Homo-oligomer: A and B are copies of this chain.
Amino acid sequence: MSGCPYFEKRHLLFKNKPPKTEDDEDASQAGVNNATKGGIIYGDYLQLNKILSSQVLQSELKSNKIHDEHLFIVTHQAYELWFKQILFELDSVREIFISGHVRDERNMLKVNTRIHRIVMIFRLLVDQFAVLETMTALDFFDFREYLSPASGFQSLQFRLLENKIGVPDTLRVPYNRRHYRDNFKGSDSELLLTTEQEPTLLKLVEEWLERTPGLEADGFNFWERLEINIFDGLNQEKEKIEKMPDTEEKEDMMAELVKQKEIFTSLFDDKRHDHLVSKGERRLSYKALQGALMIYFYREEPRFQVPFQLLTSLMDIDTLMTKWRYNHVCMVHRMIGSKAGTGGSSGYQYLRSTVSDRYKVFVDLFNLATFLVPRHWVPKLNPNVHTFLYMAECCDSSYCSSEDSD
């Protein structure tokens, strides 16, 4: 960046690396000093020789240089750079979960910050379409033949991202009846397969939610208490309505009550839950769903404040990914039209179909909004449980919050 002074800050004195032995220290010191002498400069640090030499216009190779192809290339490269950053953050978060470090509450700030960073990047990526949209369909037409058969379907990083977050193979919309992995060559295809088999962010969050303190049947037993409170509440409502004089309004209210009862009956029906999971309409385990709802209801407890933020950020990611898809669809419509009525598979129609709740990984967190209840129906924490919740943070102090062991 231009003239960024903190960039050049010389700070030889402070060694962040914890000193080990006197000898080690000297050695690293020496290394730093050498680096300072000749020194690394901005362009080398950023490897700009590679970054800035990677814009080769196919149209120019074909002796028909089209100006706007440069924008097309740079925009896609910028997307890929940011995808790499998202994957980097995502992997580091998954690592914290996988390694169990997430059990040390101190790591929640890191998890939360990095997930939030992904949110901010996606927000930028959605805005970034405004730049590519300065290219018109006519500009694009001038060079689009030269791109064949290169295709955005071949963006390895985006598919990795989907897999690692938790878009399952089974919910993908097929394109031209081909499996998505068939668009990739051998080693890439294997990499994709691997990520399908690794724990996804969804899976890791699910396991973490299942451990939400307060769910234990022999403890606070949140779920049973909630069920009791809700049906008590509904019954009291029913009694009140029944005492009302017979009017249209009374009928309406009774109908609404019946509907609410159905909704909550479905909530406490684990068989129904498993059925919805099997159809792909729910993605979290029943226990994890309970944990999420518990965090929703007790979000103000110190223990749950940051977890609540995390759930919100996960929904942000889902929302922004679908917004990204939708913005993409809008641009494609502008660039190639919908080809409505001409027959043949339409890329536009395909993309449109991916702007779907099937691709929302954390769809359950959204749908929990259906199951909210008045605050006074929420089971009260007794002082003991209060303490319990607070104390839960007191992890073994010998367990170290390993900074960036990832």
How extensive is the interface on chain A, given as a class?
A: 35 or more
Instruction: List the one stretch of A140-148, A190-198, A200-208 in contact with chain B.
Output: A140-148
* Cα distance, A406 to B150, chains bound together (Å): 25
Q: Are B5 and A347 in contact (CB under 8 A)?
A: yes
Residue from B299, B374, B398 in contact with A15 in the complex, judged by beta carbons closer than 8 Å: B374
A120 at the interface (CB under 8 A from B): yes
Residue of B nearest to A161 (CB): B2
At the interface, yes or no: A305 with Cβ under 8 Å from chain B?
yes
Question: What chain B residues lie within 8 Å of A41 (beta carbons)?
Answer: 149-151, 154, 185
Instruction: Tell me, in angstroms, the Cα distance from A401 to B347 when the chains sit together.
Output: 34
Does the CB pair B351–A5 fall under 8 Å?
yes
Taking the complex as formed, is A37 at the interface, i.e. its CB lies under 8 A from any CB of chain B? yes
Closest B residue to A234 using CB positions: B13
* Chain B residue at minimum C-beta to C-beta distance from A18: B376
Q: Select the stretch in A64-72, A210-218, A219-227, A283-291 that faces chain B.
A: A64-72
A225 to B: closest C-beta gap in Å: 18
29 contacting pairs across A/B (C-beta < 8 A): A2-B155, A3-B354, A6-B336, A9-B347, A10-B148, A12-B145, A12-B148, A13-B234, A13-B256, A13-B257, A14-B145, A36-B148, A40-B150, A42-B154, A47-B77, A67-B92, A67-B406, A71-B117, A110-B300, A124-B131, A137-B369, A141-B372, A142-B375, A259-B343, A276-B341, A305-B306, A323-B327, A339-B370, A387-B394
